Amino acid sequence: MSVTLPPFSCTHSPNLPELLWELKFSIAITTYQAGKVIIFSATSPEGLIQLPRNFEKAMGMTVENGRMAVATRNEVVVLSNSTALAPNYGIQPNVYDGLFIPRAVYFSGEIDLHDMGWSKEGLVAVNTRFSCLSLINDEFSFKPIWKPAFISDLVPVDRCHLNGMVMVDGAPKYVTALGATDSAKGWRTSVETGGILMDVESNQIISSGLPMPHSPRIYDGKLYVLLSATGELARVDVSSGKYDVITRFNGFVRGMAKHGDFLFIGLSKLRQNSSTFRDLPIAQKALQCGIAVVHLPTGNEIGFLKYENSVEELYDIQILPNMRKPGILGIDSMEHRKALVTPTDSYWSEPEPNKDL
C-alpha cells in the first residue's frame, strides 16, 4: 500500500544537521516553482527542520549584514533581522535566535529578476527581461546601470537571458548569460553551447561556449560557475577563459553558497515538457531536487538534501551565518505589521482599545 507523504517531505544525509549545528549556521533557498523561501536549520547534531514561507515566484536572494532581499514575481521584498524581537515572537516564543521581518517592498513589475547583491549604490539585480543590470529603488520600476555591449537597446524581450552576477568590492564584477544574442529570446537557438561569462567593468566576454552558465561566485579569489546543462561545477581561469570541471551532479545545477570549506549547490528537476530543457545533456539524469554539499578542497560530494514532493526547482541558496534557528515572516502574514523596531529598541505592538474620541 502506497503512503501519502506530507507536503515538503525531504530526506537528507546524516551529516547535514551535524554540519549546520557544529558550524552554527542555517541555509535559505528560493523556489519559484513552489513560491517559497525555505530556511533549513539544525535542531541538534541529528535533527533538521525546515521553515517555508510564501513568496510568489521567489527567485534571486541576497543576504548581507542582517538584511535579506528576495525577488518575487512583481516585487522585491527587503527584510531585516531582529534578534531582539525573535525570543518574544508571540506565536512561537523562545524558538528563534533571529527573525527576518519585511521592511520594504519595491514594486518593480514582472521583469524576471535573477541574481541580486548590495552594491555601494544600493540593491543591484540582474534584470533578465530587459537584458541589463538594474538598481532597485523607489523612483522607477528599475534604473538600468549596465548592459552587455552586444545589446542594442533595453526592451522587455529577454534577448540574452542574463542571469548570474557576482560582486567584488561593492560592485558587480562578472555576469553570466545564455547567449550573446540581440533578438527576442535569441539565446534559445543555441541554449546548450551558447553561454557566456562577461567582465562587467570591461564589458568583454571572457569565456564563451558554456553550457547554460549560472551562479558565478568568487571564493578564495577564484571564480566558480555552475554549468547547468551538463550538471557541472567549474572553476574558470579569467585570463584565458578556460575552465576546469571540479565535479559533476545528476541534476540541473543552479544556486550556490559557501560556508567554511563547504559549497551548497542547488539541484533541480527538469520539466520534461519544456522545449528549452528536454534535450539537454543532463535531462535524463535530472530527476531529483534538493541540495548537494561539496567539500571544496577535494571536490568531493559529502552530503545531500533531497525533496520527495512539493519542490521540484530551486533558484538561489544563501547562508545565514551565526544563526542556529532563524525565523522569517512573509508579507502575506499580518504578524510583521506588529513588529516595531527603532535604532535602539524593539516592540511587538498591541491593538489599541476602542475609545471614544
C-alpha cell at 329: 515572516
Assigned domain for 328 exists: yes
Assigned domain for 102 exists: yes
The whole domain housing 127 covers 10-332
CB of 175 closer than 8 Å to CB of 75: no
**277-286: b (≥16 Cβ within 10 Å) or e:** beebebbeeb
Residue 273: what pLDDT?
Answer: 64
C-alpha cell at 249: 551532479
Q: What digits encode the pLDDT tens for the residues 144-172?
A: 999 999 999 999 999 999 999 999 999 99
Assigned domain for 46 exists: yes
Return d(Cα 220, Cα 307) in angstroms, integer: 31
Residues 6+ apart with CB under 8 A from 16: 42, 48, 293, 303, 304, 305
CB of 100 closer than 8 Å to CB of 83: no
Burial of 111 (0-12, 13-18, 19+ CB in 10 A): buried
Assigned domain for 317 exists: yes
- Cβ count near 237 (within 10 Å): 13
CB of 209 closer than 8 Å to CB of 195: yes
Assigned domain for 353 exists: no
Nearest CA among 305, 313, 265 for reference residue 287: 313
What is the DSSP pairing of strand 76-81 with strand 98-106? antiparallel
3-state secondary structure the chain: CCCCCCCCCEEECCHHHHHHHHHCEEEEEEECCCCEEEEEEECCCCCEEEEEEECCCCCCEEEECCEEEEECCCCEEEEEECCCCHHHCCCCCCCCCEEEEEEEEECCCCCCEEEEEECCCCEEEEECCCCEEEEECCCCCCEEEECCCCCCCCCCCCCCCEEEEEEECCEEEEEEECCCCCCCCHHHHHCCCCEEEEECCCCEEEEEEECCEEEEEEECCEEEEEECCCCEEEEECCCCCCEEEEEECCCEEEEEEEECCEEEEEEECCCCCCCCCCCCCCCCCCCCCEEEEEECCCCEEEEEEEECCCCCCCCCEEEEECCCCEEECCCCCHHHHHEEECCCCEEECCCCCCCCC
Nearest CA among 167, 69, 138, 256 for reference residue 146: 167
Strand ranges of the sheet holding 25-31, from the earlier edge strand across to the other edge: 48-54, 36-42, 25-31, 317-321
Assigned domain for 338 exists: no
CB of 208 closer than 8 Å to CB of 195: yes
Residue 350: what pLDDT?
Answer: 78
Return d(Cα 118, Cα 236) in angstroms, integer: 24
The pTM of the full predicted model, rounded to 2 decimals, is 0.95
Assigned domain for 198 exists: yes
Question: How many structural domains does the chain have?
Answer: 1
Assigned domain for 346 exists: no
Q: What is the mean pLDDT of each run of 10 residues along the chain (357 residues)?
A: 83 98 97 97 97 97 97 98 92 92 97 97 98 97 98 98 97 98 96 96 98 97 96 97 96 96 95 70 83 97 97 97 96 90 91 59
First to last CA, the chain: 65
Q: What CATH code is carried by the domain that includes residue 174?
A: 2.120.10.30
